[in-house]
Structure 1
Amino acid sequence: MRTMRIALKLKGWMQAAAAVALVSAVAACGGGGGGDNNSSSGGLNGGSLPASPTQQPIAANAANTVPITVGPGVQGVINIPTVSVTICAPGSAANCQTINNIQVDTGSFGLRVVSSVLSSSLINALPINTIGTGGAQLAECATFADGYTWGTVRNASVSIGGETTTAAIPLQIIGDLSASSVPARGCGSGSAENTVSDLGANGILGIGTSPTDCGATCANAATAATYSNYFACPGGTSCTRTAVPLAQQVANPVAHFPVDNNGVIVQMPPVSNTGSPSAVGTLVFGIGTQANNQLAAAQTFTTDAYGDLNNSVYNGTTVQAFLDSGSNGYFFADSSLALCGSNYPGFYCPSSAQTRNVNLVGLNGAKATASIGILSAATLFSNAGNYAFNDLAGQIGGNSSFDLGLPFFYGRYVYYGLDQTATGGPAPFVGY
């Protein structure tokens, strides 16, 4: 997930190490408002944008649907799609809490909730997972290029829309451990991202293609010793890196629904090329399991376990492309695009509208060209009342990745098929 912020509206983002395949927001960056001279002509200034897709989301009135909202949210961060999630203590139908403004992130896997938004009665009823013969508390450090989240792994029943997990599943409770417990090795690089203010949301709902957030890397003792993002903490302190079985890893809730558990469809409405104050879409659970979730993608690509298209091509260079609702812009490297400067660091501010093409390639050999439009971030941000943008882009470190963030989702149905190969089922895929 990449999320950038202007004043209260932008956040910086860096992708997690591929070994753990996790994502999170990072520390605030960017300055005040203002515009540029593009605004008088809608930002085109003689340039052109590709035709915008026009699909409309279905109504979120079925049990396998829930509304997605883009707007000011809890911290005024742009292009953050959010849903409401209900968490219940294991085995309880009464000790429950519905939490709004949970970010929908198809680039990560598993539910993470900031501890401060949970009631004391609920958080005290969520059992902390333990590991090893001594019963050490299990904690997780989701590390990123310039930040990390730290907190215990607990079990809870999870409901989204009309879907409920068949049993309690592991999730991360962010910020419920003392900062002094953060291990000196393997965690803590950059800023702590353990509050609502740091995340720009009350939590993250990771519903990408993987059923767990780390998989074999953390389950295998040989690789976990170096790469695991899980830690054994006797008494909540003295935390050391540990291997964790798949069943105890933070879980993608969708994989644990009794039905509609093979994937999701993110449906967002079209928005104006100059931005809109808000957007309301629909998150649909299941693919081909109900009349309202049939696979109708024009392009379908099989991916690696984490939903990445590793053989894609941009400007003649092979890139790892991914479709990530948790990123609030397109992020890629292109030296031909002017950067904005100190007011909007990391964003592109071309003097005229631009179109760029990335060639997506799936493991199944499927190929398609995705055309994206780019307007100056300064022009887009000149209207402080807009929170939904379909042509916002920024720079990524290096030239090996191409992040098709939330702007790509507007006016489209984007499909994510979960990795079911462990049980003899289909390989993970994405489509639109």
Structure 2
Amino acid sequence: MSLSVLSGLIILVLLVIMLIAGVPIAVALGISSVCAILPVMDLNVAVVTGAQRIFSGISVFSLLAIPFFILAGNIMNKGGIAIRLINLAKIVTGRTPGGLAQTNILANALFGAISGSGTAAASAMGSIIGPIEKDEGYDPNFSAAANIATAPTGLLIPPSNVMITFSLVSGGTSVAALFMAGYIPGALWALACMLVVYIYAKKAGYRSQTKLTGKEKFNAFIQALPCLLLIIIVIGGIIAGVFTATEGSVVAVVYSLLLSIYGYKSMKWKDLPEIFRASAEMTGIIIFLIGVSSIMSWVMAFTNIPTMVSNGLLSISSNKYVILLMINIILLVVGTFMDMTPATLIFTPIFLPVCTALGMNTIHFGIMLIFNLCIGTITPPVGTTLFVGVKVGGVKIETVFKHLLPYFFAIIVVLMLVTYIPQLSLWLPGLMGYVS
């Protein structure tokens, strides 16, 4: 048995056993990685080298963007931004069939993009729009399904922490290019779900019973304008080269803080300690995962595991489309039981060499991978966004799941388009000069 096969089996078997046993994924990654290198390295050397890899893995300046974007998102969750975006979305959706559910979808995309969190979007939008939909006669399961299915769109529409993580683990892919690449796939996800809502709502007779006046529309737009300016300032500044993604994350914190406290007056200075605590906890989990995953990346590179996987897939078929389909299926399955960050850290170094060997652009691969893992956040058994959406919607998973099936079909269709039409991901980065 070759070293690559032996190390790969050790990592796979130990990782699965420890995850089933409930071992924290960061610990499971570290232990399985160190054990995988033991056939060729002394235990003391492996442990010391592993510790060095953790520190070198997190000693990257661009990683500072993650805690600041997390902090900005938590400030926005508390700062009254959600209701302003909902009111703005109402202007766009109007009285179309399923208008409130359409509003939910659009607001999810906007709020998720600003906060960078699918679970935050599902919680904020579901808790505000859900009761209104119930009062207007909407089936709670229908409302919850629309909220759950579209909450992850904000993870594709920048700023997105998982894109920063992918940039790091893929060897320095431009964060700005990834940000631009996510817009069209994220918008297509939302539009596909809006189509599902339109078809279902028209059949069920769901139509908004309220009509906004011109003055109400104008006031809603003015109230939401500062929220939209945040996206324009942060993303525009990064794209224009005014500041880096890390500096942009700091701008997002300062802007959202001033807007929430002095603009909307929905938050007070005394709320900050709790927001800092929650942000620090989330940051610690993600940064430790990134550090530990550096051990696995080093082990896989040392033992040529990515090359073995690449050769294995290419031996099954030389057809690019078949291989990409197999990778999509694997990522969809992985996403059902693994969180996005560890899945990105584990599978990027495995599948990226395969895709680049097929001539796939790294930016395109990153969006495909993130899209797959976003779907995993709304599927059982570990879909965090699914559970949050079910809780705020006051429904059960077994009753809402059949309502989710049409959305899954629509989202998978968009995934196939994103996979096999590179320009959906590369057109905007190319327009900005990031892709030659």
TM norm structure 1: 0.30
Structure possessing the higher relative contact order (Cα contacts under 8 Å, 6 or more residues apart): 2
Structure number with the higher strand fraction is 1
Structure number with the higher helix fraction is 2
Bigger Rg, which one? 2
